[in-house]
Structure 1
Amino acid sequence: MTAVTAWPTPRSTDTRPRSATRVCVQATDPLVRAGLRSELTGKPGIELLDDLTAAEVVVAIAEPALHDMPTTHTSRLVLIADQPRMVELWAAVERGLAVLVPREEATGMRLLRAVADARRGRGDVPPEQLGSLLRGLSRLHAETLAPRDLSLNGLTCREADVLRLLADGLDTGRIAQQLSYSERTVKNTLHSLLTRLGLHNRTHAVAYAIRLGLI
C-alpha cells in the first residue's frame, strides 16, 4: 500500500483575528480623534486603522470630518452628532450612513454596539433624524426624480417594468407586447440599463435587481 504523505497546511502571515472589524476614526480635532480611538483601543473584535480606504466601518464626527470621506467609499459609517442639519444627514447618507449616535451617548460600549450594527448592515437612526430623512426622500422623489421618470431605486419606471418581466421569463418580443412598446424600445431600454450600471447581460441585470431588492 502506498503511504500517503500529509502535507502541512500553510500558515497565513495575517495575524489579525478573523472576526475583527477594521475601523477607522475620522475627526478634524486631534484631541477628539484621540479620545474616540481610546474608547475603541484594545476592545475585542476591533482593529483600528489609519487607512480610511481599508476600513469596513468608519466612525466620524459630523462636519467637517465628513468632507474628508469620498462619496464612493464602500465602508459603513457610524456618525456621531447632536442635532445634525439636513445637509449633514445627506452628506452622511452619501458616505454610507448606518448608525447615528448622539454625542452624549458616545461611550465605549455604545460605540462598540454601533460598529457591530454597522458591520452587520443594521441601521440605527434616532426617530427625529429618521423623520427628517424620510421627508427629504419624499421631496427628492417629488421634485427631482419623478419629473425625470426616475424612482428612488435608481431605475426608470420603464426599466423596472422590463426587468420584472424578464425575471418572469419573458423574451423581448413578449415584453414589448405586454407593455405596448416596440421591441426596439425594449432592447434600447435594456442596453441603456446595462451600460449605466456596468452589467454584463440581461441575466446579470435581473440578478442585480433582485439582489438589491429593486424589483
Structure 2
Amino acid sequence: MQTQRPPSVWVDNGHAIVRRGMVACLQQAGFVVRGESAALVPTPTVDRIDVLLFESEGTALRRAVRLAAGRPTGLVATIRVATEQQVREIVDAGVAAVLPHDTLTPESLVASVRAVVAGAVTLPGDLLARLLTHVMQTANLGPTGLNPRERSVLRLLAEGLDTRGIAEDLCFSERTVKNVVHDVLTKLNCRTRAQAVALATREGAI
C-alpha cells in the first residue's frame, strides 16, 4: 500500500530566530522543510514544494507570486502590520493565507499551512469580518451573477473550509464542489480561490 508523502514547505523570513522557530513547528507537525531564505534569498525551489511561506515585505509579494506562477505551489504570507488594504493586495495577488505576526502562534501556523495544502483559504478573521460588514449585500455579482449554490461555496471557502469540508457541510460530492469552484473562478475571472473570496467579499456577494 502506497503511503501519501508528507507535504513540503519552504520558509522565508528575515529574522533568523523567527524563521527557525517556524521551521521547528512545521517539522514537528510532520511537514518536510525543503529550505529557508531571507527576503527570498536564496531563491526558493518552488517546483519541489507544496507551500511557500514567505514574509510579505517590500517586493517579496511580487517576487513570490512570480515564482509560483503556473505551478500548484500554495502561497502563505506573513505580515507585520495587517491593514485591510495590505491584506486585500496580498489576497488579490493569489496568496491563499495571510498570517499577521502579532497573532501568529505555532497552532495557527500549522493549521493555516495545512489548510492551504488542502486547497482552503485562510484570512485574518477580524479583517474578513470588517470586509463583510462594510459591503452591501446583493443578490447578484454584476453581469456575471453568482447563484445561491456558488455563493454558499464561497462563504465556506472564506471560513477556511477545504473541498472535503465544504462537501460535508453542503451534502455535495467533492467532485461537485470542485466543479462549482471552477465555475466561480471562471465567472469572476480569478486564478485562485483566495482571489475569488476577496472579490466576492468586496462586491458584497457573500
Larger radius of gyration: 1
* TM-score normalised by the chain length of structure 1: 0.48
Identify which of structures 1 and 2 has the higher relative contact order when contacts are C-alpha pairs closer than 8 Å and 6+ apart. Answer: 2
* TM-score normalised by the chain length of structure 2: 0.50
